[in-house]
Amino acid sequence: MAIPVATLVLFITIMLSGNYLKQPLGTEDNVPEAIEGIIKNVMQDNWGEVETETENLEAAWKKVVGRIQFSLERDEINYFTTNLARLQGAILARDKSSALIELKEAYNHWENLGK
Amino acid sequence: MAEGLVVIVRGIIGFFTLLIFARLLGKEQISQLTFFDYVLGITIGSIASELTVDLSSRAWSHWVGLATWAALGFLLEIITLRWRFAAKFIEGEPTIVIMNGKIMENALKKMQLRVSDILQLLRNKDVFDLQQVDFAVLEPNGQLSVLKKPEHRNLTPKDMNIATEATGISTELIYDGIIIEENLRQLNKDKKWLADELKKHGLEDASEAFIVTLNPAGSLYIDKYEDHIKKITDIGDYKGPY
C-alpha cells in the first residue's frame, strides 16, 4: 500500500508544482518584475531600455517554461509567448499603446498560469 | 515547450494512476461487469487519455476528474456491499426469463430483449433446444444462468451410486525447470523425494521438466521440455505468416 500512496503523492506534487515553480528562483527569471520594468520604461519612452529588458524578459520566460511545462496548461504558455512576439512588433513601431496592451495581457496570462 | 516530453510525463502519470485506481476498484473480471461498471471503466479510461494528450489544460484538473470518478465508483461498491436495497437499484437484479419451460414475454419486454437474444445466450450455454430448459435467469452482468429439466441434466457419479475420491487443487513443484521449494515444504516433501520421483519417470534432473504438479491423491503430472511428438496437429485453416 505504501508504494501506490507514495506514487500518487509524487504525481500530485508534480502536477501542483507549477504554481511554485513559476515563482523566481534567482534574479534572472523574475517574469513579473521584468514586465513591470518594461511598462515603466514604455511609459517614459525609453525604447532602448525597453528593447534590452524585453530580451531579458524572453530569457526569463524561457527558463520558467522549462520548469512549468509539465504541470501548467499549454494554452496560457502559448498566449504569453504570442504576447512577447507582438510586444516586439510594437517596440519596432515605437507604438506605446500596443506595447502596453501586450504587456498587460502578458501579465494577465502570467497571473492565470496554474489557476 | 517540449510537447513530446510533456506527453510522456503526463502519460506516465495517467498510466500508473489508472493502474492504482483500477486495483482499488476491485478484481471483477470483464465478464462479471454490470453495464454501469462497463461505462464507468470507459469513462475513467477516457479521462486518463485526456490527461495524457490534452495539453490545453492542466494535468491536475483531469487528474481530479479521474480521482473523483474512481472515488465515486469505490463509494458505490461499498454502498452496494453494505446496503442491499441500493445494490438492487444500482447493480440490478437477476430476472427469470424462462420459468417451468415457459418464456416470460413480459420480463423480456421490460428488459428490451428479443427472444433471439435469449436463444443466442442459451446456445452459448450449449442449449440448442428450448424444451430442455426448466429455468433461465438473466444475471445483472448480462449472462444467462440455465437450469435444465431433470431428464436433460448431466449424469453424475452420484446418480449412478459410484464412489468417488476427493479431489483438490494440484500444487506446482517445478515450474519452467525450477523447483519451487516453498511448495515442497508445504507438502512435507523434500528434494530427494522429488528427484526419486523424477527418476521413476525417466528424468535425470529437474531442469528437464517444463512443469511438474502433484495432486492431493499423490499422483504427479510431468511435462518435459522434449515432448517427442513427431507429427503435430495443425488446427490452422489457411496458410499464414506463421
- Is B231 part of a structural domain of the chain? no
**Is position B230 within any domain?**
no
Is residue B33's pLDDT more than 90? no
Predicted local confidence at residue A92, as pLDDT: 93
Q: Which of B34, B20, B35 is closest to B67 using CA atoms?
A: B20
| Residue-range domain boundaries for chain A | 2-112
On the question of pLDDT at B103 being above 70, the answer is yes
Is B104 exposed, middle or buried (CB count within 10 Å of its CB: 0-12, 13-18, 19+)?
Answer: middle
**Is residue B81 domain-shared with residue B104, that is, in the same domain?**
no
Average pLDDT taken over every residue of chain B: 87
Give percent of chain B with pLDDT exceeding 90. 45
- The region of weakest confidence among A91-100, B20-29, B59-68 is B20-29
pLDDT tens per residue across span B107-138? 999 888 899 999 999 999 999 999 999 999 99
A22 touches chain B (CB under 8 A): no
- Exposed (0-12), middle (13-18) or buried (19+): which is B63, by Cβ within 10 Å? buried
> Which residue range forms the structural domain that includes residue B211?
171-224
Residue of A nearest to B20 (CA): A4
Q: Which three cell numbers stand for residue A76?
A: 496560457
> Do residues B128 and B176 both lie within one domain?
no
Looking at A58-67, B24-33, B93-102, B229-238, which range is the least confident one? Answer: B24-33
Residues B84 and B108 in one domain: no
Per-residue pLDDT at A19 exceeds 80: yes
Half-sphere exposure for A26 (CA within 13 Å, toward CB) = 7
Contact check, Cβ <8 Å, B1/A77: yes
Contact flag A15-B59 (C-beta cutoff 8 Å): yes
**What is the rounded end-to-end Cα distance, in angstroms, of chain B?**
45
DSSP B142: S
By percentage, how much of chain B surpasses pLDDT 70?
A: 95
How confident is the model at residue B30, as a pLDDT?
A: 59
Contact B10 A70 (CB under 8 A): yes
What residues of chain A lie within 8 A of the CB of B56, using their CB?
73-75
Rounded Cα–Cα distance for residues B212 and B228 (Å) = 17
> Looking at residue B27, what is its pLDDT?
62
Q: What is the CATH number of the domain that holds B216?
A: 3.30.240.20
Residues A53/A30, Cβ–Cβ less than 8 Å? no
Higher pLDDT, B68 or A28: B68
B23 CB near a chain A CB, below 8 Å?
Answer: yes
Assess B193–A contact: CB distance below 8 Å, yes or no.
no
Res B31 pLDDT > 70: no
How many structural domains compose chain B? 3
Q: What is the mean pLDDT of residues A74-91?
A: 92
- Report angle CA A108, A114, B5 to the nearest 5 degrees: 115
CB of A28 closer than 8 Å to CB of A63: yes
Of A12, A73, A78, the CB nearest to B58: A73
Q: By the CB < 8 Å criterion, does A115 face chain B?
A: no
The runs of H, that is alpha helices, within chain B are 3-24, 35-53, 59-82, 84-91, 105-110, 115-124, 181-186, 191-200
Q: How far apart, in whole angstroms, are the C-alpha atoms of residue B188 and residue B185? A: 5
| A114 chain-B contacts, CB cut-off 8 A | 58
Please name which of A48, A113, A25 lies closest in space to residue A76, comparing C-alpha atoms.
Answer: A113
A2-112: which CATH number, 2.60.120, 1.20.120, 3.40.50, 2.30.30?
Answer: 1.20.120
DSSP B28-77: --GGG--HHHHHHHHHHHHHHHHHHH-TTS-HHHHHHHHHHHHHHHHHHH
- Which uninterrupted H or E stretch holds B98? strand B95-99
B67 has a pLDDT exceeding 90: yes
Q: Whole-angstrom Cα distance, residue B223 to residue B227?
A: 8
Task: Please give the pLDDT value at position B109.
Answer: 92
Task: Summarize pLDDT for B184-219 with one digit per residue, the tens.
Answer: 999 899 899 999 999 988 888 888 899 999 988 888
Cα A114 from Cα A104, distance rounded (Å): 18
pLDDT at residue A71, rounded to an integer = 86
Q: Is residue B34 part of a domain?
A: yes
Q: Answer whether B58 sits within 8 Å of A72, measured CB to CB.
A: yes
Tell me, yes or no, whether B159 lies in a domain: no
- Residues shown for chain B: 242
Q: What is residue A93's predicted lDDT score, i.e. its pLDDT?
A: 92
What's phi and psi for B148, nearest 5 deg?
A: -80, 160
